[in-house]
Structure 1
Amino acid sequence: MSAETEQQTTAWGDAAGRRRDILSSAEVILEDGGYSGLTMRAIAVGAGVSTGTVYQYFDGKEAVFAALMARRLDDLQRTLAEVDRGLGVAGVLREIEPQVTELWRRFGRSAAQWEAKVLAGGPRGKGAAGSVKVYRTTITLLATTLTEAAQACGQTLIDDPALPHWVWDSLIGLADDLLLRGSRTSRVRPAHLIAFATGAIERGIVRTGDAEPLG
């Protein structure tokens, strides 16, 4: 549904609907032109509202960007909370891979801005600070879900705080390959790549024998 269509069905005074219109407009702009093309004026035009109205909901494009990321991460959190632990580590990763790939498709070109303006230290607006919290909660939930999935299969994960961050970065790398179709140049089917990558991640984080945690 386009922002224009959403605008027509958003009733006057429907603050939640208006906010959705603004975010939908911003997401289209990000996908088409990246972070540099994301301006409050462009967002307003796409949402069919005035620039002043956009500022009533967000104090700048950083806050809009952070809200978009938070919305996608909220969806991923719901999947992590509900996914069947009995699928095992690799199975859980295969379940969330489509959402990670879609997130990277929409925001991958803006990853540097996300890290510099939202995740990096320093003063942040309220929206950006909230988005950082959502990101950290997602990483924590990922670690918990993988631990429970391993336990359901009689496995134990390596005890290291870097583990969920490495898994996340590995999923982003997989998403990047799938979107750029790099593997297809070598005639590797996407489904095969996903199965191999998620299996490799599982082997990389499951403790074997008497292996000790990394220092």
Structure 2
Amino acid sequence: MAATTQRLRAAWGDAEGRRRDILASAERLLEESGYAALTMRAVASGAGVSSGTVYQYFGGKDDVFVALTARRLEQVQATLRDVEREIGIAAVLREILPQVTELWRKLGRSAPQWEAKVLASGRRSKGMATSASVYRETLRTLARTLHETAETCGQTLIDDPALPHWVWDALIGVADDLLLGGSRQGRVRAKRLIEFATEAIERSIVAPG
């Protein structure tokens, strides 16, 4: 633990580095033990700082949680904005699948808590509202990228507001299989699963004709 803490610790006065250390500690806790393990004391210990230092950056564990999910979703958005539309829908999905898989690896165990706190209706903190906005923007960016890619490739997508939600959930399902190795039990290689799944998603959202 001491070696890990030393490796993570940012230089004194490096506020951005200190914030990264805190988030890295929190992400490890979530990946290893889920949301219940995410305490400010545990986050501070993993980052090699005091609990008071963590509170200088985040108001509480929910704020840390929100920052982690937002950061991962923004990475997906960036890839979607930059990916070449000419490569086709299935290839676009393959471009973001590694990021979706890493998001699910790090935060998937805490998905029920995130959904309950961020996606559920009702009163939410400013941070939770921000995380919900980032999630909605991720789906909008996904929808926009898919439509632009389809148009570039001479295709038309099914006109349905559920489309980006279905695609996102399908990618999460593929990520879950890759992480748990379900398809490998049937002797299906990961590469083949990814190819089949992304091509199947493309077929499911392209309008016939």
Same fold (TM over 0.5): yes
User: After superposition, where does 1:136-175 map in structure 2 within 5 Å?
Assistant: 136-175=136-175
For the residues of structure 2 that align with 1:2 and 1:57, how far apart are their CA atoms?
21
Kindly provide the amino acid, as one letter, of the partner of residue 6 in structure 1. Answer: L
Q: Does 1:107 align with 2:112?
A: no
Q: What count of residue pairs does the alignment treat as equivalent?
A: 207
SS of the equivalent of 1:156 reads: coil
Question: Which residue in 1 is equivalent to 2:6?
Answer: 4
Q: What amino acid is the match of 2:115?
A: E
Tell me, yes or no, if the aligned pair for 1:69 and 1:131 is still in contact at 8 Å.
Answer: yes
- Separation of aligned partners in 2, 1:96 and 1:36: 29
**2:136 counterpart letter in structure 1:** R
- Specify the alignment match of 1:123 in structure 2: 123
CA distance in 2, matches of 1:143, 1:3: 41
CA distance in structure 2 between the partners assigned to 1:3 and 1:160 by the alignment: 48
Looking at structure 1, the residues matched to 26 and 150 of structure 2 have their Cα atoms a distance apart, in angstroms, of: 38
Number of the residue aligned with 1:192: 192
Cα separation, 2, equivalents of 1:3 and 1:81 = 35
What is the CA distance between 1:2 and its match in structure 2? 4.4
Partner in structure 1 of residue 22 of structure 2 = 22
> Which blocks of at least 5 consecutive residues in structure 2 are unaligned?
none
Contact 1:81 1:145 in 2 (8 A): yes
Aligned to 2:63: 63
What fraction of aligned residue pairs are identical, expressed as a percent?
A: 67
Q: Which runs of 5+ in 1 are unaligned?
A: 210-215
Q: Distance in 2 between matches of 1:183 and 1:26?
A: 30
Number of the residue aligned with 1:177: 177
What corresponds to 2:132 in structure 1?
132
Q: CA RMSD in A?
A: 1.3
Asked whether the equivalents of residues 8 and 48 of structure 2 are also in contact (C-alpha less than 8 Å), the reply is no
Q: Given the two structures, how large is their TM-score scaled by the length of structure 1?
A: 0.92
* SS of the residue 1:122 aligns to: coil
Distance 1:2 1:132 in 2: 32
Q: Which amino acid aligns with 1:167?
A: V
Q: Is the 8 A contact 1:100 1:175 kept in 2?
A: yes
Distance in 2, Cα, partners of 1:176 & 1:186:
15
Q: Which AA in structure 1 matches 2:187? A: R
Q: Deviations over 1:137-159 (max 9, x none)?
A: 11000000000111111000011
Residue identity matched to 2:126: K
8 Å contact kept, 1:63–1:125? no
TM-score, normalised via structure 2 length: 0.95
